[in-house]
Amino acid sequence: MAFEQPLPKSLSPSRLADFQTCPRRYQHASVERIAQPASYATAKGRFVHYVFEQLFALDPPDRTMAAARGFVPAAEEHILTTQVRSEINLDEAGLAQLLAETDLMIERYFTMEDPRTITSEGIEMRVGVTIEDTPLFGILDRLDRDEQGNLIIVDYKTGSLPNRNYDAQTFANAELYAALCEEKFHERPTKIRLLYVSQGETIERSVSDVVVKARATSAVTAWHKIKRYYDDGDFPATPSKNACRFCSFTELCRSQGVPVPPR
Ligand code: SF4
């Protein structure tokens, strides 16, 4: 079966993660572009990211906790649209919970760093490059410049902190962002900093040449497979408990005979 929709123009780190988890998920989300309803967790993530994005749009001396809290009403207006509210069944109690969790994350964030002292090269920075023949695109939360002049990739995380033995996946997206930055700016970021604002904890990892090359190579390999599956008209499903647990397409897959494990 040939797809009616064109092949996506580029591959982002999150879509690559979809593909690597289950190629059929990539087919549904990126090729067929089947809408995925918001969840409470995704809405909360966008809400908190919006607040921090606005905070960093201010001049450094103005980036205070009061200023961050001042962006919450605007986040309600921009992120909690009627559609999102209906998709996550947001009632009064749900809204109160989201506002309370956001307030706590703002408070914890200010124990992690002082945004008045931070120099950023970009906020919500859009980076598109081609590595070998693979078009890659991503939006970085922040690209900072530290006191030694090094580039640091900073990513806000509103979910739970991974356990202590961080698996390779924890840093995978950000490591691919490092490859994008190196290609775009001819300068490799030296560090990745993940800010788990829900717990007030930061985890960091140095960026090595080997890792950046490996991430870029695996994106190129995936893109070649994506093109092949697209031409075949079918992306294989690789159902598993882990892959299917957080997937929006379980009902669709079951209706197509994919043996999706029960949640
Ligand atoms: S439900 Fe499972 S098999 Fe289907 S697309 Fe999602 S991850 Fe893949």
Probe ligand 1: pick from 19, 260, 263, max atoms within 8 Å of CB? 260
- Where in the chain do CATH 3.90.320.10 domains reside? 118-217
Q: Which helix (H) or strand (E) holds 40?
A: helix 40-57
Evaluate whether 243 touches 41 at the Cβ level (below 8 Å). Answer: no
Taking CB atoms within 8 Å and a gap of at least 24, the contacts of 214-219 are 215/172, 215/175, 215/176, 215/178, 215/179, 216/131, 216/176, 216/179, 216/183, 218/16, 218/20, 219/11, 219/16, 219/131, 219/134, 219/136, 219/176, 219/179
Q: Residue 74 pLDDT > 70, yes or no?
A: yes
**Whole-Å CA distances, 247 to 28, 39, 75, 251, 263:** 11, 11, 26, 10, 10
What mean pLDDT comes out for the span 90-108?
97
Pocket of ligand 1 (CB under 6 A): 22, 24-25, 28, 237, 239, 243-244, 247, 249-250, 253, 258, 260
pLDDT attached to residue 103: 98
Q: Which residues contact 19 (CB under 8 A, 6 or more apart)?
A: 11, 25, 26, 30, 222, 225, 226
Over residues 109-130, the mean pLDDT reads 96
> Mind listing the pLDDT tens digit for each residue in 133-156?
999 999 999 999 999 999 999 999
Overall average pLDDT of the 38-66 stretch:
97
How many angstroms is it from 245 CA to the middle of ligand 1?
A: 9
- Mean pLDDT, all residues of the chain: 95
Using an 8 Å Cβ cutoff, are 230 and 6 in contact?
no
Q: Which residue, judged by its Cα, is nearest atom 7 of ligand 1?
A: 244
On the question of pLDDT at 57 being above 90, the answer is: yes
Which of 250, 255, 263 to mutate for ligand 1's pocket (most ligand atoms within 8 Å of CB)?
250
Atom of ligand 1 nearest to the CA of 24: 5
Ligand 1 mean position to 111 CA, how many Å?
A: 39
Answer yes or no: is pLDDT of 21 > 90.
yes
CB 219 within 8 A of CB 179: yes
DSSP-based three-state secondary structure for 8 = coil
Nearest-atom number in ligand 1 for the CA of 23 is 8
Q: Can you give the pTM of this predicted structure?
A: 0.91
Query: Strands 151-157, 191-196: parallel, antiparallel or unpaired by DSSP?
Result: parallel
Which of 15, 18, 19, 22 for mutating ligand 1's site (highest number of atoms within 8 Å of CB)?
22
Look at residue 165 and tell me whether its pLDDT is greater than 70: no
CATH topology of domain 118-217: Lambda Exonuclease; Chain A (3.90.320)
| 240 alpha carbon – ligand 1 mean position (Å) | 8
pLDDT digits (tens, 9 = 90+) for 193-226: 999 999 999 999 999 999 999 999 999 999 999 9
Can you give the length of the chain in residues? 263
- Average pLDDT of 11-22? 94
Alpha-carbon separation of residue 100 from 93, 198, 238 (angstroms): 10, 11, 38
Mean pLDDT of 99-107: 98
User: How many angstroms does the Cα of residue 27 sit away from the middle of ligand 1?
Assistant: 10
Please tell me the residue having the least CA distance from ligand 1 atom 1: 250
Q: Which residues contact 243 (CB under 8 A, 6 or more apart)?
A: 21, 22, 25
Nearest residue (by CA) to ligand 1, atom 5, is 25
Q: First and final CA of the chain: distance in angstroms?
A: 30
- Residue 89 C-alpha to ligand 1 middle, in angstroms? 24
Return the exposure string of 210-229: e unless at least 16 CB atoms fall within 10 Å of the residue's CB, then b. Answer: ebbeebbebbeebbeebeeb
